[in-house]
Amino acid sequence: MAPGLDFSDWGAKETRKGTPVVVKMENPNYSVVEIEDPDAAFRPVEKSRGKNAKQVTWVLLLKAHRAVGCVAWIATLFWALLGTIKKRLIFRQDVDMASEKLGKGKLLFTVIKAFLVTSLTILAFEIIAYFNGWHYFQNPSLHIPRTSEIQGLFHLVYVTWLWFRADYIAPLIQALSKFCVALFLIQSADRMVLCLGCFWIKYKKIKPRIEGNPFKSNDVEGSGYDYPMVLVQIPMCNEREVYEQSISAVCQLDWPKDRLLIQVLDDSDDESIQCLIKAEVATWNQRGINIIYRHRLIRTGYKAGNLKSAMSCEYVQAYEFVAIFDADFQPNPDFLKQTVPHFKDNPELGLVQARWTFVNKDENLLTRLQNINLCFHFEVEQQVNSVFLNFFGFNGTAGVWRIRALEESGGWLERTTVEDMDIAVRAHLNGWKFIFLNDVKVLCEVPESYEAYRKQQHRWHSGPMHLFRLCLPAIITSKIAIWKKANLILLFFLLRKLILPFYSFTLFCIILPLTMFVPEAELPVWVICYVPVFMSFLNILPAPKSFPFIAPYLLFENTMSVTKFNAMVSGLFKLGSSYEWVVTKKAGRSSESDLLAAAERESKTTNQLQIQRGASESELTELNRLKAAPVPVKRVNKIYRKELTLAFLLLTASVRSLLSAQGVHFYFLLFQGVTFLLVGLDLIGEQMS
């Protein structure tokens, strides 16, 4: 029981109560005690706030133990990093150099190397000047000594460098940095507007709703329910790890069997995978599911070509809607009943997009950082654009299209690697509206290795710029409102697809380290610290459990700007890798419900054997051999040269910032350089304990 508290006498003066009593004892061994208050003897003795020497010693020892443990942990981490650098960079054990396609990647790498060599040279000059007492860089006015003050040939060279730096290099860097800072502020304002829009949606509880029973038929003599014809497509290519769980999830969709057709669009060039997928389709077909297997002989156009070929079938004309799921997506059984009803009594609606959720988001640091980005994309960008503009970029999967909208917009085109964005833009130009359902979620995977994530991001950032080149004339000449044209050109393409990777790479990876050697163009602290941290805070809001990763998220986003900038340039200028599709490697992760379903399927072996009664014993043996898990291949880490070179450039700049006592700049450059080093050594995707 909590003790009672009486606050009535707190403001009163302290008064003595009772009669003082003096007790004297004849025995001299006893001391004289004066009791002023009868209750005083029964009050708890107040412990002194002071501590004896032994207690202080123990506290200090405990704090020292914690400090030593922290230092030991940091030292162990640093030693492990040095060991990894020695193993992967010097001895090249279990590593492979990441290759660059054509000349554009090598050109960017050459430019970064030139910056690094220049920075090292200037740093050597600055260190020698520092020990000689030529502290001119510490003077904000940059006093350049006169001819009479020259102390030798080296001093003359250094003074000439100061003069050339102040008159020619600093103005150029200042102009470029001001331009990038302006773009940075514009993009930050766009993010804030999106976040305010999201807060307004949450406050007003705005979301698409289904009125009544959308499938109830007006025909009294009929069955009472009228379900539209739905086509489900699962495009895949060499998806050994995930084909089974995706086909299983789609085949369990809650929809009348006679109103549903599933197309498995297999573009695999591995015959063993083709056999496995065919067997899986046959199994579900014998269970009564209306599912067919399609394989193209001429595999052109990547995913767009695959979808285009499937839509050309004659039987597709009988269907009104088409749902698309990539090979790693696992929709819930009620997916169609949560999405298709929105089309009823809404003839202008062309697309209903569901949200992604990730089964492996906690697998390692890389997946956690991807989860932050994608949560912001769906929760903020897609939802706000859906509510206020009725337009957003189709995510390529976990969506339902009205087939008439696809046909009137020109169908799937093979001209870019972002066929989903391409069809969305063309449908928007034709007047179709889109809806995003934030509370309808479909399980999928995010890449677990940096190599797979890097290739995925290259396609996601080169494709939009390639599409922008192709769509710009159509946008300008379209009949939509001017403000919609402005939104497409200025916000959708330029600001969010071009400006973001440009200023992020230029400002934080090039200009910032250079300003350490050209202090006349130094960036203010709010540009490199306060605003980026605030924007990272906004990005993490949709994923509140990721707040401990705000610093790694900020640093990793700056690191990824190299890949995104490289991809943006290749797409904008139509370089060799702008039309390159690399299938994102999947790990085949399953949710807890999937594992339970797998265990249930294992317990029904006899039923499966009856379903496969048409197959001979040799065919079943061959199928089991193909289904056997492949021999695990030892992972070979990649060495990414651009990231490593930028790591050394940033670390060099951090050393230079120490000479001029720039604390915030030093720590930012140091941590950013270490992040580049971890990414360059392919450590960012390592398993988390």
- Catalytic residue numbers? 267, 420
Tell me which residue of 401, 403, 381 sits closest to 391, measured CA to CA.
Answer: 381
Give the Cα-Cα-Cα angle 257, 399, 378 (nearest 5 degrees): 145
Task: Please give the backbone phi and psi of residue 322, each rounded to the nearest 5 degrees, phi first.
Answer: -135, 125
| Contact predicate 439/209, CB 8 Å | no
- Going by the DSSP 8-state scheme, the letter that residue 603 receives in this structure is T
SS3 356: strand
Instruction: Quickly tell me which residue has 């579900």 as its tokens.
Output: 284
Distance CA 537, CA 653 (A): 27
DSSP code per residue over 454-506:
HHHHHHHHHHHHHHHHHHHHHHHHSSS-HHHHHIIIIIIIIIIIIIHHHHHHI
Amino acid at 397: T
Tell me which residue of 508, 502, 494 sits closest to 559, measured CA to CA.
Answer: 508
By CB atoms closer than 10 A (0-12, 13-18, 19+), residue 556 is buried
| Contact predicate 300/375, CB 8 Å | no
Tokens standing for residue 35: 């009791």
Distance CA 319, CA 330 (A): 22
Distance CA 310, CA 325 (A): 14
CB atoms within 10 A of CB 648: 18
Alpha helices of 392-478 — where are they, by DSSP H?
A: 403-408, 419-429, 450-477
Distance CA 306, CA 326 (A): 12
| Contact predicate 401/385, CB 8 Å | no
Find all residues with CB under 8 Å of 567, minimum gap 6, and list them. Answer: 457, 458, 459, 460, 461, 462, 465, 501, 577
Distance CA 99, CA 581 (A): 16
